[in-house]
Structure 1
Amino acid sequence: MTSRAITRGVAAGAATTLTVGALTLLGGGVAGAAPASITWNDGNSRFTRTISNTTPAVGDTVTVTTKFDRTSWVDEFIYNVKDRHPSCLTYVPGSAKMGGSPTNTDEVNADEGNGTGYVRSSWGVTSWVVQNRPGFHASPEYSADYKVGPNCPRGTALTTGMDYGGSLGSGNYGTKGPTISIGKTSTTTTLAPVTGARVGVPSTLTATVTGGAVGDTVEFRDAATTIGTATLDAAGTATLAWTPTVRGGHTLTARFPDTAFATASQSAPITVQVAEQNVTSAIALAPVSGAQVGRASTIIATVTPTAAGGTVELRDGATPLATLPVTADGKVSYQWVPAAAGTHTLTATFSGRDGVTGSTTTGQVSVSEAPASTTDSTTTLNPVGGTTVGKATTVTAKVNPANAGGTVTFKDGGTVIGTGQVGPDGTASTAWTPATAGQRTITAEYSGKDTVNSSSDQESVIVAPSGGTGGTDGGDGSLGSLLGGFGS
């Protein structure tokens, strides 16, 4: 009997018994840890295959075990076992065992090209015997572990089985079972809050999905109306530009539809308040006539609709002149002293304000040469000390010659902080309330008048935090006077 060489198949009429663990439905895709076993006879050989979990999730590890028994007294030696599994399951290296001992002879084929792979182990011809006679009983078990991959089909019965070779012949049971059914991945979807939404202005909607895959679709809705769709990126987020057309409250949701690999989910609704559409602004430059090198000319820009708010930046070509706050009448005014004759392109750019868009305009100004007979002026800034955030400070400049007239424009960096008329004694001043602490550069620009040329002066000022005492970078230049305003 031991010398016969036959090929076993599933014999006609061979008995098969299936034992299924709780919550298992083979091929049905029902989730839950559900072990299952199948037992069948082929001649006098009996085989029991057990899978530790027939409804695993992606990333789970399952153990497949085959037990060999005999129903007659004739012994059989097992030479090799080939455990067959779906190719989307990955064999855990070194996990194959026979009788609880590592086999160390594993031949692994991840995919035979038909959606299945196998692990084959072999050993000495007398290493493992199957016996069933008085005083002698042996039922060796072969086992291997597999990890479930993300590319496994969901809700589909995936075939397992095994082949083996032994002293009484070989058996081919590659589709015998039990089957494995991978449940769909559960997902969650969240929708990020949206602020600053306005009619006619795009707002970005951002949904985050856990359990989805790159390229999966997310649907965005405003109540029952679909706004649009977007696809998930590698971080699991999808974004959509939404341009609302109606002001008021909008109830938005993001929905991840059911896919072949993942279950559907929907975000909690968020309420977005949409403001009225921005008003389009316009800005105009008043004509500038009689501009002359070294002489002040007044630049006036007017923003419509008129109201306070926002700033206007003035430029002479590419050169910044000043950034000024828009007053309640929608205007800004600046004393401009051209440095070169010829045609100048002035640009006025409105920053916009809440509910009003920005705008820009340009104007051409012809600047003539300075008169042949002129008088140079000097402008001197008085030291600015004791400057503190939130505290008003008077900034004063002295112009020589004293009776020149004209105006002095005071700047904090490029921002105009005030304009003062030059008095009979040659002084001009403005009030300045610093908003932030730190070092500032204060500039006084004298406009010039008639035949008196323009001039300027500047100094560095240390602004102390609220409650401190500021100083300047002038005077005796001592480090103590520069930093004393910040306290110890």
Structure 2
Amino acid sequence: MTSRAMTRGIAAGAATTLTLGVLAAFGAGVAGAAPGSITWDDGSSRFTRTVSNTTPSVGDTVTVTTKFDRTSWVDEFIYNVKDRHPSCLTYVPGSAKMGGSPTNTDEVKADEGNGTGYVRASWGVTSWVVQNRPGFHASPTFSVDYKVGPSCARGTALATGMDYGGSLGSGNYGTKGPSITMAKTGTTTTLAPVTDARVGVPSTLTATVTGGAPGDTIEFRDAATTIGHAPLDAGGTATLAWTPTIRGSHALAAYFADTAFATASQSTPVTVQVAEQNITSTIALTPVTGAQVGRASTVTATVSPTAAGGTVELRDGTTALATLPVGADGKVAYQWVPAAAGAHTLTATFSGRDGVTGSTTTGQITVAEAPASSTDSTTTLNPVGGATVGKATPLTAKVDPADAGGTVTFKNGGTVIGTAPVGADGTATTEWTPATAGQSTVTAEYSGNGTVNASSDQESVIVAPADGGTGGTGSLDGFGSSS
């Protein structure tokens, strides 16, 4: 019985038997792990193939076994086995075994580059024998492990099978089974909370999906109305700019549509309160006349609509002059002492406040040279001690000549603390309540007056935290200078 045809088909009248569990293998169900087996006869050869889990998930390891039996007394030697599998399954290196023994690496070839998935093992002529006669019975089993990949089609029976070559011929059963059916991946969708939404102002909607794939589409809805669509990125997140047109309560949700690989899901609705549209502000600079080098000129900016809140930053070209809080009358005022003659561009920028947008404006000013008969001044800022967050700290500056008049503007960095007149004794005082602990730079800027030029001085101050600590002083190029 050694001269069999080299290609063996299923013999006429051969019995094919499905064991329990194979119904799941053919798509009857995909819930949980469902092993499946199939047994068939071809002539006097009997084969039993078993798949450990016919309804796997992505990342699972599936073991496929083929058992060889004989129904006659004629022995058959197995030369090679080719286990066929869906190409989305990946062979686990070193897992191929025959008769429970690992197959040598050089005896196994996996997925030999022809676009179909299979693992082929081959042995010598007498390596494995199938026997069924009194006193002699051998049923070798070939097994191999596969890792399930994400590209497997879902809800479709994926064929498995095997081919083999032996001393009595060969058999080709490439789609015999059992088949594998993968369920779609379950998904969850969440929508992040949305805060500070306002009519006419874009808000970012962010949805996160687990179980989706990059490029899958998310639909955003406001109740039953579609707002827009956005694709998932590599991290499973989709974002959309939403500009509400109606104030009040909105119920937003994100929807992930069913795909070939994943099931649909939707987020829990998120209630968003949309405020009225921001009011557009304007800011204007009062014209400045008679500006001279070394002399203070009052720069006034007015914000409309009028109300307290927000700040105005003043700049001379690219140089920051001061940042001032807007008063209830919508105005800020600053004593500006030009350092150079010629054309200057002053810029006033309003930060905006709750419900009101920011704005900016510029003004052109011509600064004259300082008078030839002018007198230089010296300003000295007294050391600042005991500065503590939330505690009022006195600031005192001394101007020389003492009878110069004018004003002193005190600053913390670029932010104006306050402005005080210079008394008859040449001193000007105000109070500073620090809001932040750490190092601050306090500056006293004398405005100049009449024929007396402006000057300034500054101190580096260590502000202690509100719950205790020691304030301190430190000179940071403290100076009294004429300008």
Q: Look up the match of 1:365.
A: 365
Distance 2:224 2:395 in 1: 62
What is the DSSP-based 3-state SS (H/G/I as helix, E as strand, rest coil) of the residue aligned with 1:82?
Answer: strand
Q: CA deviation at 1:383?
A: 2.4
The answer to whether the Cα contact below 8 Å between 2:198 and 2:277 also exists between their aligned partners in 1 is yes
* Letter matched to residue 370 of structure 1: A
Distance 1:357 1:264 in 2: 41
CA deviations on 1:57-91 (whole Å, 9 max, x unpaired) are: 11111111111111111111111111111111111
Equivalent residue pairs, number: 474
The answer to whether the Cα contact below 8 Å between 1:394 and 1:432 also exists between their aligned partners in 2 is yes
The answer to whether the Cα contact below 8 Å between 2:38 and 2:177 also exists between their aligned partners in 1 is yes
Q: Look up the match of 2:256.
A: 256
Q: Look up the match of 1:112.
A: 114
Kindly report which structure 2 residues correspond to 1:194-343, keeping only aligned pairs within 5 A, or say none. 194-343=194-343
* Letter matched to residue 64 of structure 2: V
The answer to whether the Cα contact below 8 Å between 2:25 and 2:179 also exists between their aligned partners in 1 is no
Distance 2:381 2:136 in 1: 113
Q: Over aligned residues, Cα RMSD in angstroms?
A: 1.7
The answer to whether the Cα contact below 8 Å between 1:29 and 1:156 also exists between their aligned partners in 2 is no
* Letter matched to residue 139 of structure 1: S
What is the DSSP-based 3-state SS (H/G/I as helix, E as strand, rest coil) of the residue aligned with 1:298?
Answer: strand
Kindly report which structure 2 residues correspond to 1:406-421, keeping only aligned pairs within 5 A, or say none. 406-421=406-421
CA deviations on 1:375-418 (whole Å, 9 max, x unpaired) are: 22111222222222111122111212222211111111111101
Kindly report which structure 2 residues correspond to 1:396-475, keeping only aligned pairs within 5 A, or say none. 396-466=396-466, 467-474=468-475
Distance 1:42 1:355 in 2: 83
* Letter matched to residue 223 of structure 2: A
The answer to whether structure 1 residue 122 and structure 2 residue 128 are counterparts is no
CA deviations on 1:318-350 (whole Å, 9 max, x unpaired) are: 111111010111000001111111111110000
The answer to whether the Cα contact below 8 Å between 1:29 and 1:154 also exists between their aligned partners in 2 is no
Q: CA deviation at 1:39?
A: 1.1
What is the DSSP-based 3-state SS (H/G/I as helix, E as strand, rest coil) of the residue aligned with 1:26?
Answer: helix
The answer to whether the Cα contact below 8 Å between 1:61 and 1:148 also exists between their aligned partners in 2 is yes
What is the DSSP-based 3-state SS (H/G/I as helix, E as strand, rest coil) of the residue aligned with 1:362?
Answer: strand
The answer to whether the Cα contact below 8 Å between 2:292 and 2:367 also exists between their aligned partners in 1 is yes
The answer to whether the Cα contact below 8 Å between 1:111 and 1:118 also exists between their aligned partners in 2 is no
Q: Look up the match of 2:352.
A: 352
Distance 2:53 2:350 in 1: 68
The answer to whether the Cα contact below 8 Å between 1:398 and 1:428 also exists between their aligned partners in 2 is yes
The answer to whether the Cα contact below 8 Å between 1:90 and 1:110 also exists between their aligned partners in 2 is no
Distance 1:23 1:8 in 2: 27
Distance 2:347 2:6 in 1: 98
Q: CA deviation at 1:27?
A: 3.7
Q: CA deviation at 1:15?
A: 1.3
Distance 1:460 1:108 in 2: 74
Q: Which ranges of structure 1 fall in alignment gaps of 5 or more residues?
A: 478-488
Q: CA deviation at 1:123?
A: 1.3
The answer to whether the Cα contact below 8 Å between 1:85 and 1:118 also exists between their aligned partners in 2 is yes
CA deviations on 1:98-128 (whole Å, 9 max, x unpaired) are: 1111121112225533xx3211111121222
What is the DSSP-based 3-state SS (H/G/I as helix, E as strand, rest coil) of the residue aligned with 1:24?
Answer: helix
Q: TM-score, structure 2 length as denominator? A: 0.95
Moved over 4 A (4+): none
Q: TM-score, structure 1 length as denominator? A: 0.94
CA deviations on 1:449-477 (whole Å, 9 max, x unpaired) are: 111111112222222222344232259x9
The answer to whether the Cα contact below 8 Å between 1:218 and 1:254 also exists between their aligned partners in 2 is yes
Q: CA deviation at 1:12?
A: 2.8
Q: CA deviation at 1:154?
A: 0.9
Percent of aligned pairs with the same amino acid:
82
Distance 1:7 1:415 in 2: 93
The answer to whether the Cα contact below 8 Å between 1:20 and 1:34 also exists between their aligned partners in 2 is no
What is the DSSP-based 3-state SS (H/G/I as helix, E as strand, rest coil) of the residue aligned with 1:175?
Answer: coil
Deviates more, 1:425-434 or 1:349-358: 425-434
Distance 1:138 1:61 in 2: 28
The answer to whether the Cα contact below 8 Å between 1:296 and 1:335 also exists between their aligned partners in 2 is yes
* Letter matched to residue 390 of structure 1: G
* Letter matched to residue 92 of structure 2: V
Deviates more, 1:396-405 or 1:51-60: 396-405
Q: Which ranges of structure 2 fall in alignment gaps of 5 or more residues?
A: 479-483
Cα distance, 1:420–1:358 mapped onto 2, change above 3 Å: same
Q: Look up the match of 1:167.
A: 167
Cα distance, 1:2–1:399 mapped onto 2, change above 3 Å: same
The answer to whether structure 1 residue 95 and structure 2 residue 95 are counterparts is yes
Distance 2:138 2:252 in 1: 66
Distance 2:82 2:472 in 1: 88
What is the DSSP-based 3-state SS (H/G/I as helix, E as strand, rest coil) of the residue aligned with 2:260?
Answer: coil
Q: CA deviation at 1:28?
A: 5.4
Cα distance, 1:430–1:23 mapped onto 2, change above 3 Å: farther
* Letter matched to residue 210 of structure 2: T
